[in-house]
């Protein structure tokens, strides 16, 4: 059954679950989306599609479509760039093999971070980090949660500021995936590649240019941290380069008791989903 025939689609194309660093399970993400009146969501966990089937199953009898998605982290010595993928073939063997390689490095990275913390006099249990991740891809927020749990820091943001951020003393680089590599991986798995939250980068114009040169399909225009003026600037870029304009909340967990899932839904053009689906046909086998 087509769940997306209404002309007033409410869409959120960027959210996370416990399959990576979100607080809600995939089914809880779905139920929250339904209660907030959304019609279409994309589950875009970091470097994994492991939550997609559970989310789609939870939405099976509901008026909600779950698009298989992912958020892939690209990193070099100076920065981290995220590429979103939509309509991914989650059964693509080559794609999943690449993700397994990335997640294996994540586990080793977690070990190295815990070792660095110990050298700084901050002792936490790697086993507790694994327990908190509940089998999901291990990320720095999992480590931060253990630090909060032990009373080392008052909150996760402090853990990042003091120890885990890119310029902090316990930082360990991620798997070195380049922007072109991430986009190629997504395309080869039948997906559409979109540059996530361009406004969060130190030099958005440079990053957008690199992504366009690498074959990106769109820009995440509608994002909570993007000022109106910046949105207009990158909308102009999408028009000039025949790119898609997408958006989402980047929901991970409630913030000060507020759930911002769907916060950009009313701003999204009504043809966002149809354009995204049409673009995906370029890469389907």
- Tens-place pLDDT, residues 75-114: 776 788 999 999 999 999 999 999 999 888 878 989 999 9
Q: Which of 21-25, 41-45, 76-80, 270-274 has the lowest mean pLDDT?
A: 76-80
What pLDDT does 226 receive? Answer: 97
Closest CA to 16 of 145, 176, 155, 137: 137
Residue 285 in any domain: the answer is: no
pLDDT, mean of residues 254-258: 83
- All residues at 6 or more sequence positions from 104 whose CB lies less than 8 Å from its CB, including other chains: none
Could you tell me if 80 and 208 lie in one domain?
A: yes
Residues 263, 268, 274, 277, CA torsion sign: negative
What pLDDT does 1 receive? Answer: 41
Angle between helices 204-213 and 179-188 (to 10 degrees): 40
Closest CA to 14 of 259, 235, 220: 220
Residue 2 in any domain: the answer is: no
Could you tell me if 46 and 80 lie in one domain?
A: yes
Could you tell me if 87 and 121 lie in one domain?
A: no
Could you tell me if 252 and 219 lie in one domain?
A: yes
Please give the share of the chain, as a percent, with pLDDT higher than 90.
80
Position 211 confidence tier, pLDDT thresholds 50, 70, 90: very high
What pLDDT does 256 receive? Answer: 77
pLDDT, mean of residues 170-181: 89
Could you tell me if 206 and 148 lie in one domain?
A: no
Largest CA distance in the chain: 57
Cα gap 210→51, rounded to integer Å: 30
Give residue 79's domain range: 11-94+177-280
Higher pLDDT, 140 or 70: 70
What pLDDT does 285 receive? Answer: 64
Could you tell me if 50 and 112 lie in one domain?
A: no
- Tens-place pLDDT, residues 127-173: 999 898 877 767 898 999 999 999 999 999 999 999 999 899 999 98
Could you tell me if 190 and 275 lie in one domain?
A: yes
What's the whole-model pTM score? 0.83
What pLDDT does 278 receive? Answer: 97
Q: How many domains does the chain have?
A: 2
Domain's final residue, options 164, 188, 216: 164
């Amino acid at each position: 059954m087509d769940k997306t025939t209404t002309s007033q689609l409410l869409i959120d194309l960027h959210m996370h679950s416990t399959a990576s660093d979100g607080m809600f399970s995939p089914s809880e993400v779905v139920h929250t989306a339904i209660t907030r009146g959304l019609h279409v969501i994309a589950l875009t966990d970091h470097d994994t599609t492991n939550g997609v089937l559970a989310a789609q199953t939870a939405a099976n009898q509901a008026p909600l479509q779950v698009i298989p998605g992912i958020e892939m982290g690209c990193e070099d010595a100076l920065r981290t760039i995220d590429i979103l993928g939509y309509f991914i073939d989650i059964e693509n063997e080559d794609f999943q093999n690449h993700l397994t390689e990335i997640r294996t490095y994540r586990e080793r990275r977690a070990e190295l971070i815990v070792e660095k913390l110990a050298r700084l006099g901050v002792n936490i249990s790697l086993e507790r980090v694994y327990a908190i991740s509940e089998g999901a891809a291990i990320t720095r927020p999992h480590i931060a949660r253990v630090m909060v749990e032990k009373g080392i820091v008052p909150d996760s943001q402090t853990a990042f500021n003091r120890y885990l951020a890119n310029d902090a003393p316990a930082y360990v680089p991620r798997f070195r995936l380049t922007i072109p590599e991430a986009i190629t991986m997504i395309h080869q798995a039948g997906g559409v590649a979109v540059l996530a939250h361009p406004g969060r980068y130190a030099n958005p114009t440079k990053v957008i240019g690199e992504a366009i040169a690498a074959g990106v399909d769109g820009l995440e225009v509608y994002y909570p941290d993007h000022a109106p003026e910046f949105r207009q600037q990158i909308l102009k870029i999408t028009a000039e380069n025949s790119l898609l304009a997408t958006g989402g909340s980047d929901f991970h967990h409630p913030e000060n008791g507020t759930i911002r899932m769907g916060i950009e839904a009313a701003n999204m053009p009504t043809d966002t989903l149809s354009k995204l689906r049409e673009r995906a046909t370029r890469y389907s086998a």
